[in-house]
């Protein structure tokens, strides 16, 4: 399966669509044993200044694509271009690419300043120029005054900042990041997400970021390529991926998602009628179905489901009676598990405007949603 994914017009720091792509994967495939492909027909155009995330589960091929761009792996087939020049046979140290790894890869016997100076020394910069760039890089990641410390004297978040500074200190035009925040705790991880996003906005450097964490991808990216089994399932902006998933895998992998199984019994333009396996009929938006009789998975985000009273005149295409099974208090909202249409794992999220839960397990409620919020995807 080969997918061609063209760059979309953007409102962030990328070149105009009329300018050449900064980096490009063309029909790239990768096999380690000559039989099984871990990357299958990968095509991606990246604009200068763009932040692109390769997102997917472990073993989906995303890190392999990053390693091929870095030069640590060679494509089995296809071509990789950087500034319109082929780089398949160019060794890593000649590509001028910054790299940040999950394990930081800092030299433990060197100070922070010496770690940052290393990539400048191998480029034969003068001592004065090295000192200037090291100071600038430390200030960029808010580690002024830490130059004399060794990595063991730093916290995990500080070490990650040093690794980021080392990748940026020689002012590369492209920075690759492979799960760089995976070893940090939740608070540090969130802090570093915003720090990386700030640095990207300040410098306008092109970044390719690999993660399996959907929150990271949604928070930081201009566009996200969702991988599964060596194939890009969808390439789009974060809001498009969340609101308009192309298939059931993307809907399931990006955010929380209610799924209902059934068969298309009527198809009419932008609406379709689906008879669920439990017998109920649902009106949905056809996305990945094209014929009556097709099996489908209905995708519905928890926050798109409304609680309605029996006499409510709220214009909803689908309304059903549900039984409350579980209510979880999460501060700003309530996460309620219901039994709806034969599905005992149906989730709704409601704002906690009154500061306390009003639903209790065992309650019977009416819920509803519009057809546009319910997408009929592949089975």
What does pTM read for this prediction? 0.86
Low-confidence ranges of the chain (pLDDT < 70): 1-20, 310-313, 354-357
Residue 155 and residue 279 share a domain: no
- 104 φψ region: left (φ > 0), alpha (ψ -120 to 50), beta (else): left
| Number of neighbouring beta carbons within 10 Å of residue 110 | 14
Q: Are residues 63 and 131 in the same domain?
A: no
* Spatial distance between the Cα atoms of 264 and 276, rounded to a whole number of angstroms: 9
Give the Cα separation of 43 and 26 in Å (integer): 5
- Residues 184-234: pLDDT tens digits? 888 888 888 998 999 999 999 999 999 999 999 999 999 999 999 999 999
Is residue 101 in a domain? no
Q: How much is the pLDDT for 182?
A: 82
DSSP annotation of 227: E
Q: Which of 203, 231, 255 is the last residue of a domain?
A: 255
Tell whether 137 and 6 lie within a shared domain.
Answer: no
Q: Are residues 212 and 230 in the same domain?
A: yes
Tokens at 154, concatenated: 């730093």
Number of domains in the chain: 3
Is 102 part of a structural domain of the chain?
A: no
* pLDDT at residue 20 in the model: 65
pLDDT at 311: 62
Alpha helices by DSSP H, the chain = 62-70, 112-121, 127-140, 156-168, 186-203, 214-220, 238-243, 248-253
Considering the domain architecture, whether residues 51 and 32 belong to the same structural domain is answered as yes
| Domain that residue 140 falls in | 109-172
Task: Name the domain boundary from 127, 157, 172.
Answer: 172
Among residues 259, 244, 265, 342, the alpha carbon closest in space to that of 305 is found at 259
In a domain, 103, yes or no: no
- In a shared domain, residues 263 and 339: yes
Domain match, 198 and 66 both: yes
209, 63 contact by CB (below 8 A): no
What pLDDT was estimated at residue 310? 61
Helix axes 156-168 and 112-121, enclosed angle (nearest 10): 20
């Amino acid at each position: 399966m080969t997918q061609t994914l063209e760059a979309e017009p953007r409102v962030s720091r990328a070149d105009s669509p009329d300018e050449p792509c900064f980096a490009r994967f063309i029909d790239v495939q990768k096999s380690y044993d000559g039989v099984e492909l871990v990357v299958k027909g990968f095509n991606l155009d990246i604009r200068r200044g763009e932040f692109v995330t390769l997102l997917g589960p472990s073993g989906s091929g995303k890190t392999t694509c990053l390693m091929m761009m870095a030069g640590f792996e060679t494509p089995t087939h296809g071509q990789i271009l950087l500034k319109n020049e082929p780089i398949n046979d160019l060794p890593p140290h000649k590509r001028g690419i910054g790299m940040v790894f999950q394990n930081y890869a800092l030299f433990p016997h060197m100070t922070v300043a010496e770690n940052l100076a290393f990539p400048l020394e191998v480029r034969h910069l003068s001592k004065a120029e090295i000192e200037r760039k090291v100071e600038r890089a430390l200030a960029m990641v808010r580690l002024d005054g830490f130059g004399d410390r060794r990595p063991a004297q730093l916290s995990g978040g500080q070490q990650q900042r040093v690794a980021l500074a080392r990748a940026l200190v020689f002012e590369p035009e492209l920075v690759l990041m492979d799960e760089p925040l995976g070893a940090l705790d939740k608070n540090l991880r969130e802090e570093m997400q915003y720090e990386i996003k700030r640095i990207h906005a300040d410098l306008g450097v092109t970044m390719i970021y690999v993660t399996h964490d959907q929150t990271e991808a949604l928070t930081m990216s201009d566009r996200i390529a969702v991988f599964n089994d060596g194939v890009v399932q969808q390439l789009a902006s974060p809001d498009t991926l969340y609101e308009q998933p192309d298939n059931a895998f993307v809907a399931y992998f990006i955010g929380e998602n209610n799924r209902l199984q059934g068969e298309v019994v009527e198809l009419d333009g932008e609406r379709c009628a689906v008879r669920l396996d439990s017998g109920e009929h649902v009106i949905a938006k056809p996305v990945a179905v094209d014929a009556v009789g097709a099996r489908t998975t209905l995708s519905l985000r928890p926050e798109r489901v409304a609680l309605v009273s029996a006499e409510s005149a709220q214009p909803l295409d689908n309304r059903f009676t549900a039984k409350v099974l579980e209510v979880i208090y999460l501060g700003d909202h309530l996460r309620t598990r219901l039994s709806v249409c034969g599905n005992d794992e149906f989730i709704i999220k409601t704002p906690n405007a009154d500061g306390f839960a009003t639903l209790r397990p065992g309650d019977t409620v009416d819920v509803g949603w519009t057809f546009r919020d319910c997408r009929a995807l592949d089975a």
